[in-house]
Chains A and B, each alone.
Chain A
């Protein structure tokens, strides 16, 4: 082997080729099978994609770098199950471009956050965490009360649809209207939202004010949806316990 290298290091393109080969094998072996697994890992029947409002909230979550302090991946360890809830399934993030599993828990995991707190708690907490949790070191986000920019929303759903997320063309077209309606429980569009995304979707004035569509509406709607897109994780855990 040393001899081979001795000759190789006289040829720059030879080194280039050898490096590429050596550095490709591991990636191919580990990554390629995941795409086949994807076909076999079934997406649960009750799994729904995010509503436009939740998706807009997810974009705010990304923009503000919440993932730098919060994970969304409960590992299959006893203490995590006790602290957060059922461990996360691959299917739960199957529609997530990109995934937000995170790598650091400066704050707690959020994968099972949905409906743990009230909307009002979330708004107050985001505006100033120390108002509700005095010793918190989480940053304040007072600017989330600005109105939500929905100009790209429909195009975003369209792009995700092209990447395989099950958004119908109707959902893409109605994206902005659906986002409005989800934060206005009394409005006409509500039924359409429930019809498109399922009866379990939360329709509320998330920031407490139905007259304005704000970033707070979107982010809180997203936080409240975490872990509620499918029940599969709870079902699998329950099965495991009865066995």
Chain B
């Protein structure tokens, strides 16, 4: 189905105009740069623009959508967003398994620049965080925003602009890395023009969110939306400050960040940890606060607790970035503040996790029987675990052992696989049948398979790396009786081999699960909608604008 047929004739014209503008922008970029990553990126934008010109143009002679559409939720963008989520899941996790394999077997793939470890690793992190996580956040936020406001999205063009624009950013970023174009700031590696482009996309996203909220038919803004809003706002703030840079030339994909040395380190980790907080946590808590109650059929256990934990998270998180810089050249008091707030952060974090788990009280039989709900339950548990671990790692003496080791990577993946990915899968399995007009997924049993692969993969991954990290940390600081270091660095590298192998296996299991999910969603999309109405929250009809 051509998605442009969900647009009215005049909207199609606007879309057509935007597509032409994108093609022109791409042309200007390519012509201005002439060579290198920026020229390739210009060509990519131009091709995407031209593709969209034909795509939208092809819909011009198709009938306009039913005039009644204003009385329905607009789910076509969500559908596209879910597709992109799954595509990026496969790209990003394949890159993850690949780099994992390279750490065990460095000559697994030929030594060519494009697939060298250092270039693929950011493809993995950007692919999973922004591609997989970001698309999931945007797609579900549209879905949740409309249901909880009982209003249709404020317009039909900007959701497409946001999704397509965001995916262009992700594609620019990862193709840039393989070509060797990177700012090297962790989780903000994309070059200056991609960063600028993301700002435009993000402002549109914020505007759409606020405009749709303004049309809501509920006096209150539902909890999930607070979190999505915090996600949108704070990510904008972080992104802009951390990426302030001076391009070497407007025709080249090379810039220097305006920050240097210790300030750069502090700003980088203020950004880095709050990318964890507001990208990988706040937005996903929004997802949790909507899909968990819906799927379990139980209201959120405590409204008060959700208020306290919301403001606690928004206020405390911003302080903790300096726990990435213990014992470094960063001033001591800043490290101490970071440590203190990290420990305090455990309170709102566990309040959220506890609130989610208490919500399931009375629905435990559903958790047992329904793999989708079980995904969300496991997500809440891992959220609790990884925040506990995080607060622990932030304590200075603990960090002296864990920092620079695989323990950090284990912590990261207990958060990202156990919490972020699980809640995404739970949300996808809830909303995909809904927007396809079905009661359930095409292959309900495959969800069960996916669940066990995901849980098994996560446990193998995380337990292996805990062992790896602690072993590494202890070996580095071990002294023999004569007061000399007991182990050479190479001995610690060799000790990691079995854990790296296990991690690769666990990661591969997780990836297989994600592929099953993608196929299952595709199969569900392809089924005809059921003739009977699938229950959904009624939209409040809007007077025409």
In the assembled complex, B266 has its CB within 8 A of some CB on chain A? yes
Distance (Å) between the CB of B426 and the closest chain A CB? 25
Closest to B494 in A: A135
In the assembled complex, B11 has its CB within 8 A of some CB on chain A? no
In the assembled complex, A235 has its CB within 8 A of some CB on chain B? no
Q: Do B322 and A30 touch across chains, with their CB atoms under 8 A apart?
A: yes
Partner of B219, one of A10, A79, A87, A99: A10
Distance (Å) between the CB of A104 and the closest chain B CB? 6
Q: Which residues of A contact B330 (CB under 8 A)?
A: 90
Are A30 and B246 CB-contacts (below 8 A) given A22-B311, A23-B233?
A: no
Partner of B113, one of A2, A27, A107, A143: A143
Are A37 and B331 CB-contacts (below 8 A) given A68-B121, A93-B262?
A: yes
Q: Which residues of A contact B255 (CB under 8 A)?
A: 159
Distance (Å) between the CB of B470 and the closest chain A CB? 14
List B residues 146-201 near A (Cβ within 8 Å).
Answer: 177, 180-186
CA distance A28 to B314 in the complex (A): 14
Most A CB contacts (10 A, CB to CB) among B104, B326, B328 go to: B328
Distance (Å) between the CB of A187 and the closest chain B CB? 27
Interface string of A55-79 (1 = CB under 8 A from B): 0000100111111110101011111
In the assembled complex, B334 has its CB within 8 A of some CB on chain A? yes
Partner of B318, one of A26, A73, A129: A26
Q: Do A34 and B262 touch across chains, with their CB atoms under 8 A apart?
A: yes
Q: Do A155 and B267 touch across chains, with their CB atoms under 8 A apart?
A: no
Interface string of A156-175 (1 = CB under 8 A from B): 10011011110000000000
CA distance A95 to B184 in the complex (A): 16
Q: Do B118 and A12 touch across chains, with their CB atoms under 8 A apart?
A: no
CA distance A25 to B319 in the complex (A): 8
Q: Do B246 and A162 touch across chains, with their CB atoms under 8 A apart?
A: yes
Stretch at the interface among A13-21, A114-122, A199-207, A220-228: A13-21
Closest to A41 in B: B262
Stretch at the interface among B2-10, B350-358, B362-370, B399-407: B399-407
CA distance A87 to B328 in the complex (A): 8
Q: Which 10 A-B pairs have the closest CB atoms?
A: A65-B118, A26-B318, A26-B319, A75-B327, A90-B329, A93-B261, A105-B404, A63-B180, A79-B477, A90-B262
- Besides the known contacts A79-B476, A103-B324, 13 further A-B residue pairs in the complex with CB atoms under 8 A apart: A12-B210, A19-B226, A24-B318, A29-B319, A62-B182, A65-B117, A88-B328, A93-B261, A96-B260, A99-B264, A106-B103, A107-B493, A137-B103
27 contacts between A and B (CB under 8 A): A9-B221, A10-B221, A15-B229, A19-B234, A22-B311, A26-B316, A34-B334, A63-B119, A65-B182, A75-B400, A75-B403, A78-B477, A87-B329, A98-B257, A99-B261, A100-B184, A103-B186, A103-B408, A133-B490, A136-B106, A139-B106, A139-B118, A143-B111, A152-B248, A155-B248, A156-B254, A163-B256
Q: Do A15 and B256 touch across chains, with their CB atoms under 8 A apart?
A: no
Q: Do A35 and B315 touch across chains, with their CB atoms under 8 A apart?
A: no
In the assembled complex, B385 has its CB within 8 A of some CB on chain A? no
Closest to A78 in B: B477
Q: Do A88 and B329 touch across chains, with their CB atoms under 8 A apart?
A: yes
In the assembled complex, A186 has its CB within 8 A of some CB on chain B? no
Distance (Å) between the CB of A60 and the closest chain B CB? 9
Q: Which residues of A contact B267 (CB under 8 A)?
A: 31
Are A35 and B263 CB-contacts (below 8 A) given A97-B258, A162-B246?
A: yes
Q: Which residues of A contact B319 (CB under 8 A)?
A: 26, 29-30
Q: Do A163 and B249 touch across chains, with their CB atoms under 8 A apart?
A: no
Q: Do A101 and B182 touch across chains, with their CB atoms under 8 A apart?
A: no
In the assembled complex, B203 has its CB within 8 A of some CB on chain A? no
In the assembled complex, A140 has its CB within 8 A of some CB on chain B? yes
Q: Do B329 and A27 touch across chains, with their CB atoms under 8 A apart?
A: no
Q: Do A69 and B318 touch across chains, with their CB atoms under 8 A apart?
A: no
User: Which A positions have Cβ atoms within 8 angstroms of B?
Assistant: 1-2, 5, 9-10, 12-13, 15-16, 19-20, 22-27, 29-31, 33-35, 37-38, 41, 59, 62-69, 71, 73, 75-79, 82-83, 87-109, 129-130, 133, 135-143, 152, 155-156, 159-160, 162-165
CA distance A95 to B259 in the complex (A): 9
User: Which B positions have Cβ atoms within 8 angstroms of A?
Assistant: 102-104, 106-107, 111-113, 116-119, 121-122, 177, 180-186, 210, 213-214, 219-221, 226, 229-230, 233-234, 237, 246-249, 252, 254-268, 270, 278, 304, 307, 311, 314-322, 324-331, 334, 337-338, 341, 400, 403-405, 408-409, 476-477, 479, 484-485, 489-490, 493-494
Q: Which residues of A contact B493 (CB under 8 A)?
A: 106-107, 135-137
CA distance A177 to B247 in the complex (A): 23
Q: Do B254 and A152 touch across chains, with their CB atoms under 8 A apart?
A: yes
Closest to B267 in A: A31
Q: Do A20 and B490 touch across chains, with their CB atoms under 8 A apart?
A: no
Q: Do A159 and B489 touch across chains, with their CB atoms under 8 A apart?
A: no
Q: Which residues of A contact B248 (CB under 8 A)?
A: 152, 155-156, 159
CA distance A35 to B116 in the complex (A): 37
Q: Which residues of B contact A102 (CB under 8 A)?
A: 404
Partner of A99, one of B116, B262, B307, B484: B262
CA distance A76 to B396 in the complex (A): 12
Q: Which residues of B contact A88 (CB under 8 A)?
A: 328-329
Closest to A89 in B: B329
CA distance A31 to B304 in the complex (A): 32
Are A15 and B261 CB-contacts (below 8 A) given A22-B314, A159-B248?
A: no
Q: Do B314 and A23 touch across chains, with their CB atoms under 8 A apart?
A: yes
Partner of A96, one of B180, B261, B327: B261
Are A23 and B315 CB-contacts (below 8 A) given A31-B270, A99-B265?
A: yes
Partner of B213, one of A12, A66, A73: A12
Distance (Å) between the CB of B144 and the closest chain A CB? 15
CA distance A148 to B505 in the complex (A): 39
Q: Which residues of A contact B210 (CB under 8 A)?
A: 12-13, 16
CA distance A139 to B116 in the complex (A): 7
Q: Which residues of B contact A13 (CB under 8 A)?
A: 210
Distance (Å) between the CB of B485 and the closest chain A CB? 6
Q: Do B328 and A138 touch across chains, with their CB atoms under 8 A apart?
A: no
